Amino acid sequence: MSIQPPPVLALDIGNTRSKLGFVDVRQYTCIASTAFPTGEIAARLLPAVAELAASPPGAMSKTVALSSVVKEAGATAVKLLTTAGFSIRQLDPTGPLPLTIAYDSPRTLGADRVANALYGITLFPGRALIIISTGTAITIDYIAERIFHGGAILPGIGLQFGSLHHATDALPAIEGIERAAIPTLPGNSTEKCILGGVLHGTATAISGIVARYCKLAAPREPLILATGGDWSLISQIIDFKSIALPDLTLMGAACLLKY
């Protein structure tokens, strides 16, 4: 009887939110996860670890796979987890990786983007990949033949709404966008004009960039993976098929341990 490896604890520290989860390293699926604001990581991280450890499957590896795009929060997490007896495998875009980073300045490349690419090449070897992440910023990356070719960065939905409100005198703040219905165009109120402009404009921009990447991949058909809190909104108005993976970055960070 083969001994099944315990799930790995993975931590994805984003600009706004951090996510912690158990990843099954046999199939690279996320078993359970929890999230909290990145600004509260000092107070929330270890209680979140204890919360996950108290729930099934309970047992976990003492190695944590870490992806962080916030330097100070990442350092805080390493200190807390090391003190608690964990060893840390932190994803470093400049370190040895199972893919080539074709980027002018790898040290400026977000670890989350590399984690997403690692998941793609691990679970879908040989496929050309387009990976979309819709967080504080939106990234659309292209990976082919185990080469991270780079991508595009756009302001996220929240940043766009915030900039319109704070940089003008009369435009209102848009709240509760995760529950918002996608308005048709043209909008017949200022709120609907903002919602429609930002959401439809972002979806159109993403679709245009994806179409350019598809031309690069031709005659192959790239696989499109998508993640991030705003994808549920944007996915309603895009014009291409994708696989939605809410825990993509967590699973990708755990893929680092395979190599």
Which residues are designated catalytic? 112
Contact by Cβ (8 Å): 65, 256: yes
What is the pairing mode between strands 137-144 and 129-134?
Answer: antiparallel
The Cα–Cα gap between 100 and 200 comes to 34
What are the tokens at 53? 């450890």
Helices and strands: H and E segment counts in the chain = 7, 11
- 37 to each of 15, 128, 208, 234, how far by Cα in Å? 9, 33, 32, 22
How many whole angstroms from its chain centre is CA 256? 15
Contact 154, 137 (CB under 8 A): yes
Closest to 36 in 3D by CA, of 19, 54, 14, 55: 19
3-state SS class at 180:
coil
Q: Is 210 left (phi over 0), alpha (psi -120 to 50) or beta?
A: alpha
